Structure 1
């Protein structure tokens, strides 16, 4: 892949292949990401997974619209840095090389650092405030201007239906290894009734839709919040899912693929820190129904990502990158365990929202 980058991608950015250093960057589940550096500069280069993102031009156009809107506020009403796209020498937002992939480049922020597991209340509150600040800055952006890169992305009814179908098909012959988790997930359909009652009351907003802790960059020089990154799944939707994904990815002391299930739990102090940070930015913006929806969003996201991992495991690991046998099953078990921890601590956690 490095040779494809050097010979076929970099020339579109005015770079000779042998004049730049190319190295893998990050540990994302979906796209292939590289850091490209040369004497005069640097950029992040990505090959989009077009099996997942089947409308890559919509993706890069969405990201450009959002980054332009934020860029107009940068240094004024928006205190974070903007990770803006880099156009090719021809002025394009992406490069479609057919079988060699769809490529795009974005701004690289020096001195940036990301983490995979939240280590303190201060980190959680700071990151939640950053995601809240991001959402607040987009409240005056017309959400209908951006397209759906993955239709019904956060759609629990569809995700549960897909799991049920994957179990029925059993294409990879794995159902016997995970039948208990399938049964557990499909027994959580009570959430659908709550969702149906609340969702019609929620305003449509621009949502990040992937508010993992490693999609927020810290400044390694002083540990301050630097930027919100990975705008690939930015779409119109409801902020309860962004809140829920922070709960999902911030609160456990274990990584989302850890097999140490006895250590996977929602840390209440981290949950409270998320609420403080997020609501400090959005408390005067959220409508009453939106605030009410946050607890539902937390439960849905912990369950739904587990359902997605389990569905992919049953289908033969077609969606998420895996690095070991049973990786997606490990991820699913981890997320379902976190969901169970959320439910058992409801009386302690819910008051943090209200």
Structure 2
């Protein structure tokens, strides 16, 4: 008698082998496709990375401008431990005159954008106008620029002889390339500089305070506003760093990129270490990584940097500060206020 849910022996012998063969075939095809996709993805990922690592100093990584709502344009990042073995870039424009006869007491490297012509001109007329200080302490300022399709600085460079420019996109996530460019130029043409300062074109540097108060230790020193910070993991932040790019929970101690000063020997050692260390998107953190490698601890100096100038109280702390961030204010106006405070007006 036929019962629901039961099959005859003959039926089982006919249907099950065919069904089993079909399942095995499906599983085999699926496994093959999964393997193809996995290995293709690995090969493609390796090719992308090798294109970046192959020539980090001379190759150009075009990085679109990012906005908080558009994170898909973020550049491919590599761990800072990735090593290369190449010398520095060839420069499109380079300074002359400041180090040809003798190296300056203080070399100031100023990151700038090609479009910021007015900012550079104000700096030349204000805090970097004076070139010599007592006891034969000379100062030379050099502006560090990348490439911008809309701006031509060749004429400015020929007239002022203080621009160092190379062929990489001028973008804030390329700031480490600017720094490496400046250190490489310093090591080749200004190696005898006693001190090297790095700052930005929206910062006023109180050179007189810097020279008279802080530049006393000549070896193995870097000073500024320094601290330990954590990577920002929010993909919507312009300072986002993935765990793939930097897996550690904290950055090494570093100094604010608005202004820090190092002895000449540390600048040379940073340059040498940078040859074997891939660039990091942000120059101040990159310097912290290099400092850790060469075993130099940055020294935090309270009051060294004023992060935001207060127009309502212009004389508060400015006579003791070295770097004053103007944040879009009229630099000439702020400079006059600071000078008047220093003169006791």
TM-score norm. by structure 1 comes to 0.27
Larger Rg: 2
TM-score norm. by structure 2 comes to 0.28
